[in-house]
Amino acid sequence: MLKEVMGFLISSDWVLGEASDLNVHVSAVEVRHTFDRLRAQQFPRQRELKAFLKQSGETVADLLLRVRLNLLSQRIQRHVLIGHRGQHSRQRALTRFVHDFKLKWMAQTYCDPGYAVQDCGHVQASL
């Protein structure tokens, strides 16, 4: 469980960092509007949302972060695909982006003392 949580937090940091690097933003109003729409679809009654939060151990702030990350990921993808028209070109652009994204953010986090993972040398060697 701890490994999953840490993975989520690290990958979230990567998405937030990449969005910042690409100057991709979503407003708090947009996040809240999307959250409210999704909440109404998935939890028509307030007590259903409360039960989910209790069962999952998450908070509304956690869910808002997930919505923000999802919206940013969608915008990053659109940014990467600008100028790519054909399916093959789009797939190549996404594949290249994912590869470069992982290398970039792994190099910045895996070897950072705050993250410290065992395969840090492996990440640096692949750069």
Band of pLDDT at residue 118, cut at 50, 70 and 90 = low
Domain identity same for 19 and 51: yes
State the pLDDT at residue 121: 52
Which residue, chain included where needed, has tokens 């956690």? Answer: 62
Domain count, the chain: 2
Q: Express as a percent the part of the chain with pLDDT over 70.
A: 85
State the pLDDT at residue 31: 98
Domain identity same for 52 and 110: no
Closest alpha carbon to 42 in 9, 11, 78, 67: 67
Domain identity same for 93 and 74: no
**Average pLDDT score, the chain:** 87
**Residues 12 and 69 sit within 8 Å (Cβ to Cβ):** yes
Q: Which domain holds residue 96?
A: 87-127
Domain identity same for 95 and 71: no
Task: Give the Cβ contact number of residue 60 at 10 Å.
Answer: 11
Domain identity same for 10 and 51: yes
Band of pLDDT at residue 105, cut at 50, 70 and 90 = confident
Question: Among the three residues 82, 104, 119, which one is the final residue of a domain in this structure?
Answer: 82
